[in-house]
């Protein structure tokens, strides 16, 4: 930080204090950040809180667009940008890093890890998404989808070093943001849904050399020997669990550094496979450390404590949402706490010194899997038949959770946490009860369901962590929305699936400002100051897990039609966005009338098309991201052009993997299924919403 910039920041904060927004409800010292937004959560505490006050409830109506930057070739944009000393840094869909002048919006440099060239097989394990970069000591750190970790010169974008963070041939992938602390950079990984074993690794920020590694599930007896944390975890698994994979628990998002206690808090993901009888046969153990927050020593990676939110997870519940640290005055005494809203729908307030619950967790959304939490043991008092013991379980929240990776924020001014919430259920079936929306996960049929009032909607929920109750709630039109930013100016910002960027009064929930971004938003905004002026920035690029949810998350955005952008706002901003097409819910299917459908090929193609679902939609119900609607695709209209695309991979650099292991017969079958679904949309064929027939029940 330059002396001039520091002085400007101090003046801005002082000016804000004279305006005031009332006495703070909770201690404000060191919460969040001010001039720079140097990590995805703003400060190391991951509170997504800006101490800046120039933009507030009294003048937010004068907030306008300062500048915008179009990002050709990008699709899903999930990251929260960083702002450091006049530059903005962020990753694109496949971890290409951009550096932008924060005052003008001019692109300064771009670095592309080219995963498609270096490790193309990893493209089969996830859609293109990256949730952020890290900064420390003049370096930018980013992880590619293939889990190579890069250090870049923040001034030039030049690669300083690169290191592999996962073993060769593993199922692990990286979509999360690294974090930096004390000269180190830490990164986790995903892949639990494929049975990968979870772990996080800390590297030296200057050299890229590994400093320590902590596994979130145990390995073999030989691997665990001499490691007390792994030996303890192994006792909660059966003897044969490693035959089914690594157990999951992958830490792909929430990682928080606690400077006060010199600890790292790791949010471990769901267990894999979902069905515990497959994952851990012959056992009824808790399967540590899946679905847990684990505290480790920041210098050594040694285990300190854990709290498991879902013992023996069976529903894709995970502790991966952002983990916030704060000091709260509770019963007249300051307590060092963790605030956490995982996917299971509860809100946990945890003593970060001991890992023990402070109060009874509240329910932030519709929850039917648990009665309450036993405050003596910390274990959930579960409802019956939640692990599909009778062959069928319908559970809320569903697999995307009540709160997922989209960042929640916290304001000490109000004492409230602002959570982007989803409400939708999930049906887990072992007996064949399913539609075409179902995925087959190792013989377990899984699909979203809408049955209850509020299902299919997202909500912005203001939550009181001490009272464990809702302060206010705003209902969004659609299910999958963006993360939040809270500011000392008394505002909460959030983007939505339908493309509005909104500001709310942090105390009341009243919407006080809105901007049409022209495309859905899933990332979280951030705020910074430059030359004494406060700005707010947001990436615009709908996507993520939308295709896998198909029509449940379809808002009408079309692939390649609406530009992806970085938007930056300031008081008095007068820039305008170029008009672009709005949402279009019609499927503009194409057809070749001369093509004769082979019904056996359609049946076989339905089974194979699950390989297309993560990008092109379950049952081909596309959402415009991350891939186009195959029913509308001219390439998929003809068998020869589809075959060439899948066999040779001409669009790999745009995120379309090569499927050279598919046979000509299999490609013909997929083509037949696409043609059948296109004709359904055109009214030329009866609708078939039956599940794929390849499920062994």
DSSP classification of residue 299: T
Q: How crowded is residue 494: how many other Cβ atoms within 10 Å of its Cβ?
A: 27
The two tokens of residue 348 are: 């946990």
Query: What SS3 class is residue 344?
Result: coil
The two tokens of residue 380 are: 């959930």
**Residue 12 scores a pLDDT above 60:** no
Using alpha carbons only, what angle is made at residue 41 by residues 39 and 47, rounded to the nearest 5 degrees? 140
Using alpha carbons only, what angle is made at residue 541 by residues 535 and 545, rounded to the nearest 5 degrees? 130
Of residues 564, 619, 588, the one with CA closest to residue 75: 564
> Rounded to two decimals, what is the model's pTM?
0.96
316 belongs to the catalytic site: yes
Give pLDDT tens digits for 258-315. 999 999 999 999 999 999 999 999 899 999 999 999 999 999 999 999 999 999 999 9
Catalytic residue among 34, 45, 275, 316: 316
Quick one: pLDDT at residue 244? 66
Alpha-carbon separation of residue 208 from 147, 162, 211 (angstroms): 13, 7, 9
The two tokens of residue 354 are: 């001991």
- What's the chain's average pLDDT? 94
Give pLDDT tens digits for 388-410. 999 999 999 999 999 999 999 99
Quick one: pLDDT at residue 47? 98
**Residue 21 scores a pLDDT above 60:** no
**Residue % of the chain over a pLDDT of 70:** 96
The two tokens of residue 277 are: 């009888």
Instruction: Give the position of tokens 């920035």.
Output: 537
Q: How crowded is residue 531: how many other Cβ atoms within 10 Å of its Cβ?
A: 12
Mean pLDDT of 623-640: 97
Determine the angle formed by the axes of helices 639-648 and 664-681, rounding to 10 degrees: 130
Q: Range with the lowest mean pLDDT among 240-249, 329-338, 400-409, 535-544?
A: 240-249
Mean pLDDT of 433-448: 90
Residue 625 contacts residue 556 (beta carbons within 8 Å): no
What structural domains does the chain harbor?
A: 110-322 (2.140.10.10), 599-681 (1.10.760.10)
d(CA 616, CA 609): 9
**Residue 8 scores a pLDDT above 70:** no
Nearest 5°: phi and psi at 383? -75, 160
Query: What SS3 class is residue 668?
Result: helix
d(CA 564, CA 307): 39
**Residue % of the chain over a pLDDT of 90:** 90
**Residue 7 scores a pLDDT above 50:** no
Quick one: pLDDT at residue 666? 98
Quick one: pLDDT at residue 239? 87
Give pLDDT tens digits for 537-580. 999 999 999 999 999 999 999 999 999 999 999 999 999 999 99
Residue 319 contacts residue 293 (beta carbons within 8 Å): yes
The two tokens of residue 520 are: 């859905």
Give pLDDT tens digits for 463-493. 999 999 999 999 999 999 999 999 999 999 9
Give pLDDT tens digits for 162-172. 999 999 989 99
């Amino acid at each position: 930080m330059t002396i001039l910039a520091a002085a400007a920041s101090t003046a801005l904060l002082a000016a804000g204090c004279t305006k005031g927004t009332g006495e703070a409800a909770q201690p404000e010292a060191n919460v969040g950040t001010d001039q720079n937004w140097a990590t995805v959560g703003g400060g190391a505490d991951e509170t997504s809180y800006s101490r800046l006050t120039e933009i507030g409830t009294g003048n937010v109506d004068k907030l306008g667009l300062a500048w915008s930057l179009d990002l050709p070739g990008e699709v899903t944009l999930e990251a929260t940008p960083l702002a450091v000393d006049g530059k903005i840094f962020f990753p694109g869909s496949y971890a290409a890093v951009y550096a932008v002048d924060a005052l003008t919006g001019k692109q300064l440099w771009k670095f592309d890890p080219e995963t498609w060239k270096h490790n193309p097989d990893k493209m089969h394990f996830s859609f293109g998404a990256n949730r952020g970069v890290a900064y420390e000591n003049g370096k930018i750190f980013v992880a590619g989808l293939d889990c190579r970790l890069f250090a870049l010169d923040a001034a030039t974008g030049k690669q300083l070093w690169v290191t592999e963070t996962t073993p060769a041939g593993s199922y692990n992938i990286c979509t999360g943001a690294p974090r930096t602390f004390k000269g180190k950079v830490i990164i986790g990984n995903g892949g639990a849904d494929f049975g990968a074993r979870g772990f996080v690794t800390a590297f030296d920020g200057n050299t890229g050399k590994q400093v320590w590694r902590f596994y979130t599930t145990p390995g073999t007896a030989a691997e665990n020997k001499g490691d007390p944390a792994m030996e303890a975890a192994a006792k909660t698994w059966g003897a044969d669990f490693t035959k089914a994979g690594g157990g999951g628990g992958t830490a792909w998002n929430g990682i928080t550094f606690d400077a006060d206690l010199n600890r790292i808090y790791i949010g471990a993901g769901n267990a894999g496979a979902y069905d515990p009888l497959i994952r851990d046969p012959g056992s009824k153990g808790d399967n540590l450390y899946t679905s847990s927050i684990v505290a480790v020593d920041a210098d050594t990676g040694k285990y300190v404590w854990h709290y498991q939110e879902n013992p023996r997870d069976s529903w894709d519940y995970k502790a991966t949402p952002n983990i916030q640290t704060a000091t709260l005055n509770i019963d007249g005494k300051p307590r060092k706490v963790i605030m956490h809203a995982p996917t299971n729908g509860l809100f946990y307030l945890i003593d970060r010194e001991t890992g023990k619950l402070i109060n009874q967790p509240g329910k932030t959304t519709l929850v039917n899997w648990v009665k309450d939490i036993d405050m003596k043991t910390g274990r959930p008092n579960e409802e019956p038949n939640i692990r599909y013991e009778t062959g069928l379980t319908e559970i809320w929240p569903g697999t995307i959770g009540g709160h997922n990776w989209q960042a929640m924020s916290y304001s000490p001014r109000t004492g409230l946490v602002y959570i982007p919430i989803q409400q939708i259920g999930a049906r887990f079936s072992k007996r064949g009860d399913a539609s075409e929306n179902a995925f087959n996960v190792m013989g377990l049929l899984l699909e979203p369901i809408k049955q209850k009032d509020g299902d299919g909607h997202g909500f912005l929920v203001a939550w009181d962590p001490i009272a464990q109750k809702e302060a206010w709630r705003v209902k969004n039109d659609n299910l999958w929305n963006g993360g939040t930013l809270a500011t000392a100016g008394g505002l909460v910002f959030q983007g939505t699936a339908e493309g509005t960027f909104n500001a709310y009064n942090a105390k009341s929930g009243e919407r006080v400002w809105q901007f049409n971004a022209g495309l859905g938003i899933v990332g979280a905004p951030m705020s910074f100051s430059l030359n004494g002026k406060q700005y707010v920035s947001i990436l615009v690029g709908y996507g993520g897990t939308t295709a896998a949810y198909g029509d449940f998350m379809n808002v009408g955005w079309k692939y390649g039609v609406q530009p992806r952008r970085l938007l930056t706002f300031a008081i008095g901003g007068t820039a305008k966005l170029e008009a672009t097409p709005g949402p279009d819910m019609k499927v503009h299917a194409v057809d070749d009338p001369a093509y004769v459908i082979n019904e056996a090929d359609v049946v076989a193609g339905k089974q194979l098309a699950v390989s297309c679902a993560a990008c092109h939609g379950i049952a081909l119900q596309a959402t415009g991201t991350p891939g186009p609607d195959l029913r509308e695709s001219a390439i998929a209209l003809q068998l020869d052009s589809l075959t060439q695309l899948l066999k040779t991979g001409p669009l790999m650099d745009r995120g379309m993997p090569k499927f050279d292991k598919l046979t000509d017969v299999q490609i013909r079958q997929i083509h037949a299924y696409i043609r059948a679904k296109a004709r359904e949309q055109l009214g030329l064929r009866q609708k078939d919403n039956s599940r794929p027939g390849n499920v062994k029940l």
